[in-house]
Amino acid sequence: MILAAIPSPTTSVWHVLGLPIRAYALCIVLGIVAAVLIMEYRLRARGVAHWASLDMAVWAVPFGIIGARIYHLITSPQEYFGSGGHPIDALYIWKGGLGIWGAVAGGAFGAWIAARQLGLPLSVFADSLAPGLPVAQAIGRFGNWFNNELYGKATTLPWGLRVHDMDTTNPGHALTIDGEPVTKAGLYHPTFLYEAVWDIGVAVLVWLLDRKYKFGRGRAFALYVMAYTVGRFWIEMLRIDDANHILGIRLNVFTAIIVFLLALAYFVIVRGPRAYVVPDDAPVTAPEGEEAAVADGSRRAPKSYQVVSEARFEAYRTTGILPPDTPEDRALEIAAGGHPADPDPAGPAGNTEAVLATGAAATNGPDGATGGDAEVDKRPADEN
């Protein structure tokens, strides 16, 4: 006798003014919003201008979705291109079928484009996103719950999942007989819930360890990848949805192992302190008169950034003036992935060609400015 069970929704799509509103899409959107907000908080604590996260999302989200779908099509082609498959269904992403590894690869490419445009090291974006991405994944997994998909093996556990037979002639709704939704026999492991809970744990782990150790050079993101793949390994072993197998083992199990090892190697080999950034044209002396008024009133994002040590960053955030580099500062900035320019004997930085954090050069305007200072966040640097 079944004494307890987790129910599943009987509807995953609603129509408003004739337009379909799909639960899967809503969960994806809510996850993206959560990830962007978390990344925004962490970017500001590193010195990046307000809402640069949106500039990144504009590029990373579309490429991430495309990459996720391509990965799914490559690893599960038979549903669309095999016997009885419908190739046009490859475009119907709202029905499910987004692979996380394709999303990470595609999103990374989009983020790289955004980083180049903003003059930021990609690692600043990656480490800022590290705890936000698993939160997005946790929220997105509830889309699978609405779709009654990606559940695990049969179970007698009290938290077993009741799964509906979905109506193929009425997509987004459970099959009904005499007005009652039809359910599959027995209960199943709620793997969507296992992964959602695991992902939240990963987010907390990355946030706490990064706050304590101040990882740099993309190591916080590598930590996320390692923690996530450990969970994906055992959860994947429970799933029974259609998947390609190698030696009787699901393909994504091998993928999780390989990605974990790559992330572990990166985490161990790559070292460096956390990167902090300031506008490339940050003032090195106190502005006076009209220049001070212009500087105080500027809220435009800078055209590029420079990586600075934590000590210089804190001084700039407190005073609005960037202190000169010391040999110790330069060593830390190089270790963090920056490319500090050699001291200019001709005068203060900003009057000649500037060296960006990416190593490229930016041409100053006639007044020596490169777009104005970013609005400075006043929170302590370790509150991220």
Whole-angstrom distance, CA of residue 207 vs CA of residue 313: 21
20: β partners: 15
Q: Is 141 annotated as a binding residue?
A: yes
**In 180-206, which positions are buried (b, 16+ CB within 10 angstroms) versus exposed (e)?**
ebebeeebbbbbbbbbbebbbebbebb
The answer to whether 244 and 203 have CB atoms below 8 angstroms apart is: no
Q: How far is CA 199 from CA 133, 225, 320, in A?
A: 9, 11, 39
Sign of the four-CA dihedral 312, 315, 319, 320: positive
215: β partners: 273
Token pair for 323: 């202190």
The answer to whether 344 and 8 have CB atoms below 8 angstroms apart is: no
Whole-angstrom distance, CA of residue 156 vs CA of residue 189: 9
Pick from 103, 108, 104: nearest CA to 125: 108
Binding site: which residues?
Answer: 141
